[in-house]
Amino acid sequence: MINALRGMKDLHDVESAKYSHIVETAAGIAKRYGFEFAETPQLEETALFRRSVGESSDIVGKEMYEFEDKGGKSVCLRPEGTAGMVRSFVQNKLDRAGGKHRWFYHGTMFRYERPQKGRLRQFHQFGCESFGEASVYEDFHIILMIKDIFDALGIRFKLAINSLGCPQCMPGFKETLVKHLHDIDDLCPDCDRRIQTNPIRVFDCKNGSCQEKFTSLPRLLENLCGECDEDFNELKALLDRFDIDYEVDRNLVRGLDYYSKTAFEFISDEIGAQSAIAGGGRYDRLVEFLGGKPTPAVGFALGIERIMDLVQLPEQNRQGWYFGVMEEQALHSIARLAHKARQSTPCTVEYKRKGLKAHLKGADKAGARYCAVIGSDELQEGTIWVKDLQQKQEQTVAVDMLNFTR
């Protein structure tokens, strides 16, 4: 037997219903916030992720599904959605067109991580990217939108925020930080590498012994320039005004290198160690970094599988029709009726001849509101027996009189 690869899951039944529920809920809310659906390929040039997600990140350092295609080009299954969206934004010259562009997307991402609960090698994200708006109000609206999505899905969360500074304050801080880091002995090999590539990522180290050595290190939050400080204070004031609880986490640096200014994460206490259910922030330099005109940008992505572990499916109202026969000759009539019904409502057809009880069971399982069956009497009379499973009423009507718009 051939099984799915480790860390990759099939989706069906309740799981697929949850998936659709999450995506439809999130997409509905994103549209209300002015975001439009966008899609980019799952396979991109490896260089795109190296340049954007960054060499210092675990994603680029250890987790990419990277290979040569048949033409010898190095390609990579996307580990995240932002880089592709920015590539598409620049390639389609939207940076030069100016204005605001707000996109939402959902789909498969790939990271070669050690699989565990809530951590897969193939997983799905729903994300939003906003291009062209520098105001911290946009950061706030995105956080508010994520809150609306989680509220609509009935998910409790904690919000952590931080500021990662800008080209004004970040480089000077990094120099100071590196000086301090050189005074510390016995860092883990990952932190040694981070000192060379992106020193602020040491604060993301999962090694307890490194973290102990970092307690007295300076943090960027206390070394922001005037503009970053003002923006961060404004963001906190907006969250306060909207009664959104948050914690300022000075260690929150995110696992990707492209962020500047606002960084945030939504955490759940109810799903174990892999507790981040959404993350994002501002990445004002990335468009330029990938060859475009400087364009401010901010976005987020939420992990659909992690949210599937938390979400309850809403009680479905019964809807649509179930058709069954007790005589095979009636299948023709049923096919015609089902086609008519499907113009306006969902519809299930059972082709096998069965008794009424079995058909009622089938209709119940299908979640149908109406169970319609043709038996031998109905066949002779040109009628059909219909039961409304919600109102618990039944009647026999002429086949031509069936009305599917109710």
| Whole-angstrom distance, CA of residue 342 vs CA of residue 323 | 12
With CB under 6 A as the contact rule, the residue among 54, 165, 296, 299 that binds ligand HAM is 299
| Of 54, 84, 132, 279, the one binding ligand HAM by CB under 6 A | 279
Cβ distance to ligand HAM smaller for residue 297 or 347:
297
If phi > 0 it is left, if psi is from -120 to 50 it is alpha, else beta; for residue 93 that is left
Whether residue 163 contacts residue 220, with contact meaning beta carbons closer than 8 Å, is answered with: yes
Residue closer to ligand HAM, measured from CB, 120 or 368? 120
Of 29, 210, 278, 368, the one binding ligand HAM (CB under 6 A) is: 278
CB of 340 to ligand HAM, least distance (A): 43
Q: Which region holds residue 34: left if phi is over 0, alpha if psi is between -120 and 50, else beta?
A: left
Are 118 and 273 contacting, i.e. CB atoms less than 8 angstroms apart? yes
Minimum Å distance from CB 214 to ligand HAM?
Answer: 21
Please state, in angstroms and rounded to a whole number, the distance separating the CA atoms of residues 178 and 307.
Answer: 38
Q: Min. distance of Cβ 386 from ligand HAM in angstroms?
A: 46
306 near ligand HAM (CB under 6 A): yes
Give 73 or 114: the residue with its C-beta nearer to ligand HAM.
Answer: 114
Distance between CA atoms of residues 395 and 319, nearest Å: 18
DSSP state of 12: -
- The count of other CB atoms within 10 Å of the CB of residue 359 is 24
CB atoms within 10 A of CB 230: 12
For the window 242-261, what string marks contact with ligand HAM as x by the rule CB under 6 A?
A: -------------xx-----
Per-position x/- string for 13-52, each x denoting binding to ligand HAM as judged by CB under 6 A, each - no binding:
----------------------------------------
Tokens of 177: 């930080």
DSSP 333-380: HHHHHHHHHTTTS-EEEEEEE--HHHHHHHHHHTT-SEEEEE-HHHHH
CA 141 to chain centre: 17
Print burial letters for 387-403: b (CB count within 10 Å at least 16), e (below 16): bebeeeeeeeeebeebe
For ligand HAM, the closer of residues 257 and 350 by Cβ is: 257
Verify binding: residue 132, ligand HAM, rule CB under 6 A.
no
The answer to whether the beta carbons of residues 275 and 156 sit under 8 Å apart is no
Q: Closest distance between ligand HAM and the C-beta of residue 306, in Å? A: 5
Q: Is 231 in the site for ligand HAM (CB under 6 A)?
A: no
- Least distance to ligand HAM from the beta carbon of 12, Å? 18
Residues in contact with ligand HAM, counted by CB under 6 A, come to a total of: 28
Q: Edge-to-edge strand order for the sheet containing 260-267? A: 36-37, 101-110, 122-131, 297-303, 276-282, 260-267, 158-163, 247-248
The answer to whether 386 touches 374, Cβ cutoff 8 Å, is: no
Contacts with ligand HAM in 135-194 (CB under 6 A)? none
Tell me which residues in 69-88 interact with ligand HAM (CB under 6 A). 80-82
Question: Which residue, 82 or 348, is less far from ligand HAM as judged by CB?
Answer: 82
Q: Which of 276, 338, 389, 402 binds ligand HAM (CB under 6 A)?
A: 276
| 286 lines the binding site for ligand HAM (CB under 6 A) | no
Q: Which stretch binds ligand HAM (CB under 6 A): 114-122, 216-224, 372-380, 389-397?
A: 114-122
- Segment contacting ligand HAM by CB under 6 A, of 196-204, 225-233, 303-311, 355-363: 303-311
Please say which residue, 268 or 383, places its beta carbon nearer to ligand HAM.
268
Position of tokens 């019904």?
341
C-beta of 16: minimal distance to ligand HAM in Å?
17
Residue 375 near ligand HAM by CB under 6 A? no
Chain residues binding ligand HAM by CB under 6 A are 80-82, 111, 113, 118-120, 123, 125, 127, 129, 255-256, 276-281, 283, 299-303, 305-306
